[in-house]
Amino acid sequence: MKIFCIGRNYSEHAAELNNDVPTTPMVFMKPHTALLVDGKPFYFPSFSNNIHYEIELVLKIGKNGKNIPKEFASSYYDEIGLGIDFTARDLQQELKSQGFPWEKAKAFDNSAVLGGFKYKNEFTSNIDITFSLNLNDKPVQIGNSKDLIFDFDTLISHISEYFTLQKGDLIYTGTPAGVGPVKIGDRLEGYIGVDKLLDCEIK
């Protein structure tokens, strides 16, 4: 099982971090050990003082595929869920400033929180999905799939050009504006519409 993540896929998020908006999908990966599932708590790591939350819609791949044309991409996933891409922002900036890869800031253990899923036929439209994140009962991020720079089908087609997609693979599709730090004792709750699909305590 592979975890694909998309960076800077909402223009307002790119702007808040003073990053350029990409012209092609920015793809990076996390290992299986990054997954944090079943509502388990996230333990603040010792190597960072600035861990940021990033709420994202997550696609679960339902069948194998390679070089998938965009017009057929929607048949390769049946479920849409929620995840958090935790980022060690201080470590990321340090690595970027030296021109180094920043997997250590993105792909560390438990950095990919995975909440629940809904079947895509439960949605009126896959290109109009509202999702949000609360931090200690206060809304901090609100997004909608219609604001994606690269939509679901584009992402699946693009990723499959380079990597064979396999059943069970996950695609974290990018985060909207509003990212910020967490501290020990915080609680994060993620929603698609009014349905709570994610709950994560910081310890």
Hey, where are the domains in the chain?
A: 3-201
User: If you write DSSP's letter for every residue of 144-180 in order, what string do you get?
Assistant: EGGG-SS-HHHHHHHHHHHS-B-TT-EEE----S--E
Q: State the number of CA atoms in the 13 A half-sphere of 145 facing the CB.
A: 24
CA dist 168 and 58 (Å) reads 12
Rounded to whole angstroms, how far apart are CA atoms 21 and 159? Answer: 18
> Rounded mean pLDDT of 35-53?
98
In three-state secondary structure terms, 104 is helix
Q: Is 71 helix (H, G, I), strand (E, B) or coil?
A: helix
pLDDT, tens only, 140-175: 999 999 999 999 999 999 999 999 999 999 999 999
pLDDT digits (tens, 9 = 90+) for 47-91: 999 999 999 999 999 999 999 999 999 999 999 999 999 999 999
Does the pLDDT value for residue 17 go beyond 70?
no
CA dihedral sign of residues 106, 107, 110, 114: positive
The pLDDT value recorded for residue 159 is 98
Q: What is the pLDDT of residue 12?
A: 78
Residue 125's pLDDT is: 85
- Residues 175, 53: contact at Cβ < 8 Å? no
Centre a 10 Å sphere on the Cβ of residue 82 and count the other Cβ atoms it contains: 26
Sign of CA dihedral 17, 40, 167, 108: positive
pTM above 0.85, yes or no: yes
DSSP class of residue 22 equals P
Rg over CA atoms, the chain: 16
CA distance to 35, 65, 150, 186, per residue, from 145 (Å)? 23, 23, 10, 26
Domain 3-201: assigned CATH number: 3.90.850.10
Answer for the pair 86, 48: CB distance below 8 angstroms, yes or no.
no
Strand order in the sheet with 195-201: 138-144, 130-135, 187-192, 195-201
Question: Is 38 within 8 Å of 200 (Cβ atoms)?
Answer: no
